[in-house]
Amino acid sequence: GQNIDQPTEMTATEGAIVQINCTYQTSGFNGLFWYQQHAGEAPTFLSYNVLDGLEEKGRFSSFLSRSKGYSYLLLKELQMKDSASYLCAGMDSNYQLIWGAGTKLIIKP
Amino acid sequence: TAGITQAPTSQILAAGRSMTLRCTQDMRHNAMYWYRQDLGLGLRLIHYSNTAGTTGKGEVPDGYSVSRANTDDFPLTLASAVPSQTSVYFCASSDGDNSPLHFGNGTRLTVT
């Protein structure tokens, strides 16, 4: 079956770095997406990886290892506004997205 | 600003009643989707449309129907609501197979 696993909740301190992990099993693979979702709001796109390696976008970076079925989202210099849920989604061979349940990130001052 | 508009924002609906959730986009995206989001679960696809005039079933289509008469509009209808359809419903669109999804602000539906 197809599955996405990510931690339910993480806590980090303002100014620090946090890594949110995601493992995936999909029928075929057409990329891995990360979305941010603030409470009561819509998900918004953060990153897309289809090749192995690290993609950096400002304070946020995303990593992919296709051989391990593994991705992580790295958030640096954490700010209070980064408190949100982070959704990992894998795209299968039919270009359908398989979604994880999301990781709720709590930032403490 | 351009994007996706969903209506209503929230609704309380008696079981057995019907309701249509509206979704309109102005980005001229071909693909549109309806998801439901429930606590502790990932987003689950209800129905999708790859282009105007075509629709397909997602992971949880039972009890829901959609239509795609034109590029911009993708309404979701609940013919006879049941309490298990209490959820937050998101409409989304995308520009192509590997393109990111753009989401509407969601409709919070409570079926009593």
What is the per-residue pLDDT for A80?
98
Token pair belonging to B19: 């309701």
Q: Which residues contact B34 (CB under 8 A, 6 or more apart)?
A: B21, B23, B45, B46, B47, B48, B58, B64, B66, B74, B76, B89, B90, B91, B92
Q: Are A41 and B100 in contact (CB < 8 Å)?
A: no
Mean pLDDT (chain A) is: 96
What is the per-residue pLDDT for B97?
80
CB-nearest to A42 from B97, B100, B106 is B106
pLDDT one-digit tens code per residue, B6-20: 999 999 999 999 999
What is the per-residue pLDDT for B96?
85
pLDDT one-digit tens code per residue, A13-40: 999 999 999 999 999 999 999 999 999 9
Share of chain A above pLDDT 70, in %: 100
B101 → chain A, closest CA residue: A45
Cα–Cα distances (Å) from B109 to B2, B9, B21, in that order, read 25, 9, 9
Q: Are A48 and B100 in contact (CB < 8 Å)?
A: yes
Distance CA B17, CA A109 (A): 47
What is the per-residue pLDDT for B2?
67
What is the per-residue pLDDT for A36?
98
pLDDT of residue B88 exceeding 80, the answer is: yes
Strands (E), chain B: 4-7, 10-13, 19-25, 31-37, 44-49, 56-57, 64-66, 76-78, 87-94, 102-103, 107-111
pLDDT of residue B98 exceeding 90, the answer is: no
- For residue A3, the cross-strand partners are A25
Token pair belonging to B37: 């989001």
Cα–Cα distances (Å) from A41 to A8, A55, A70, in that order, read 18, 26, 27
What is the per-residue pLDDT for B1?
61
Share of chain B above pLDDT 70, in %: 98
pLDDT one-digit tens code per residue, B17-49: 999 999 999 999 999 999 999 998 989 999 999
CB-nearest to A43 from B40, B98, B103 is B103
Compute the average pLDDT of residues B61-68.
98
pLDDT one-digit tens code per residue, A76-93: 999 999 999 999 999 999
Token pair belonging to B60: 């949880």
pLDDT of residue B73 exceeding 70, the answer is: yes
Compute the average pLDDT of residues B52-75.
97
DSSP-derived secondary structure for A31-88: -EEEEEE-TTS--EEEEEE-SSEEEEETTEEEEEETTTTEEEEEE-S--GGG-EEEEE
Q: Are B42 and A100 in contact (CB < 8 Å)?
A: yes
